[in-house]
Amino acid sequence: MARSFTEHEKDNIRNHLQEACKQSWTQYGYKKTSVDDLCRQTGISKGAFYLFFESKEALFCEVLCSVQEQICRAASEVIEKHRDKHGVAEALKLIYREYDKNNFLYESDSTDFTILMNRLSEEQAKKIQNAENTLSQSVKVIEKQDKIIAEKNAAIMKKHSVLEDVTMKLAEVETLVDEVAEQAYEKACEAVANTVRQETQKEDIKILDDYSRWLSAPERTADKKLRDYAVKRLGALKEKLIKSAKATVQKVTDSLQEPEHRQKNLEQVREKARESIKDRLARGKTEADRLNRERMERIRPTIKKDMEI
């Protein structure tokens, strides 16, 4: 007859059984993990085991659900702490790292996992199915990122007039004189368009590319279909970002080429060509950075609402 345990001992034994099960499941699989081995590792008798779990399958069910809950809770804490695209990226990395460590989380098509599922009660099988669904819920964070990037791009479009005022000043360069005003103005418009394009998309694209490479690296052991899906979603986000940035550049370019604006700016070029190109570009970039920081502060409350997992 198994001896009685204090509540503190029960908590410790239960935790040790779960940890031993997780390690053995990862290393040997469900079928090769025996109750005797788990009891020996935990330091209890086989009879005592059934004070905590009605069966070996009940323990495996609880371990799987517990690991899933821990992963989701940790991912939520990361996003709660960093409510931006960096937080989403870190949360996804955390999820994939945990799946790398616990291969039983994604081997649902294996023979070993099928044997386990066939021996579960209907209630236990449903519980495991719900745990597996947590992954798809986490992937939805990527879809929310799509919405966030779209909102950020919309904010950029709303601030188009401010960007136009800033970028127009880049045309005030000392090398633009009366004889070459027309040619210099065209070059200045190209510089403005390039600057707007680079400043509105380069950071976001770098993050998306870095994370896609991280997912595609050969050392990743998570389910390939899952990783491919995530890479595909990131690629879609990148395409939307590029299209939005191109639209912004086109609007700026069109505005600069309107007859009224063009004539006015050419006059400014002739009258105010005093400062060097390098100095004006540097000042324009500083102003654009300031405006971008202010914009992010204004839309941060909206981002906060949309970043809940």
Residue 91: which CATH number? 1.10.357.10
The pLDDT assigned to 41 comes to 95
Q: What is the mean pLDDT of residues 92-101?
A: 86
Single residue among 92, 115, 135 that ends a domain in this structure: 135
The token pair at 81 is 């702490």
Q: Is 197 in the same domain as 248?
A: yes
Q: Is 29 in the same domain as 88?
A: yes
Which residues are CB-contacts of 305 (< 8 A; sequence separation ≥ 6)? none
d(CA 151, CA 113): 42
> Residue 6: which pLDDT band, with cuts at 50, 70 and 90?
very high
Residue 129 to residues 45, 115, 135, 185, 287: CA-CA distances in angstroms? 31, 15, 11, 63, 52
The token pair at 53 is 């779990």
Q: What is the mean pLDDT of residues 65-69?
A: 90
The token pair at 246 is 């191109």
Q: Is 182 in the same domain as 111?
A: no
Asked if residue 88 is part of any domain, the answer here is yes
Single residue among 109, 135, 161 that ends a domain in this structure: 135
Sign, Cα dihedral of 139, 142, 146, 152? positive
d(CA 250, CA 261): 15
How do residues 269-287 score in pLDDT, each as one tens digit? 677 765 666 677 678 778 8
Q: Is 96 in the same domain as 164?
A: no
The DSSP result for 129-156, as a single string, is HHHHHHHHHHHHHHHHHHHHHHHHHHHH
Asked if residue 100 is part of any domain, the answer here is yes
Number of H-type helices and E-type strands within the chain: 12, 0
Q: Is 250 in the same domain as 269?
A: yes
Q: Is 103 in the same domain as 80?
A: yes
Residue 120 to residues 25, 58, 102: CA-CA distances in angstroms? 16, 8, 20
Q: Is 176 in the same domain as 272?
A: yes
Asked if residue 2 is part of any domain, the answer here is no
pLDDT at 43 over 50: yes
Can you give the length of the chain in residues? 309
The pLDDT assigned to 268 comes to 81
pLDDT at 54 over 90: yes
Asked if residue 128 is part of any domain, the answer here is yes
Residue 206 to residues 86, 209, 234, 269, 305: CA-CA distances in angstroms? 12, 5, 11, 35, 25
Q: Is 232 in the same domain as 271?
A: yes
Amino acid found at 40? R
Q: Is 156 in the same domain as 95?
A: no
Asked if residue 1 is part of any domain, the answer here is no
Asked if residue 149 is part of any domain, the answer here is yes
Q: Is 32 in the same domain as 62?
A: yes
Asked if residue 12 is part of any domain, the answer here is yes
Q: What is the mean pLDDT of residues 56-62?
A: 95
Q: Is 291 in the same domain as 192?
A: yes
Q: Is 264 in the same domain as 300?
A: yes
Single residue among 135, 170, 198 that ends a domain in this structure: 135
Domain assignment of residue 270, given as a range = 138-306
Q: If you average pLDDT over every residue of the chain, what do you get?
A: 79
Asked if residue 200 is part of any domain, the answer here is yes
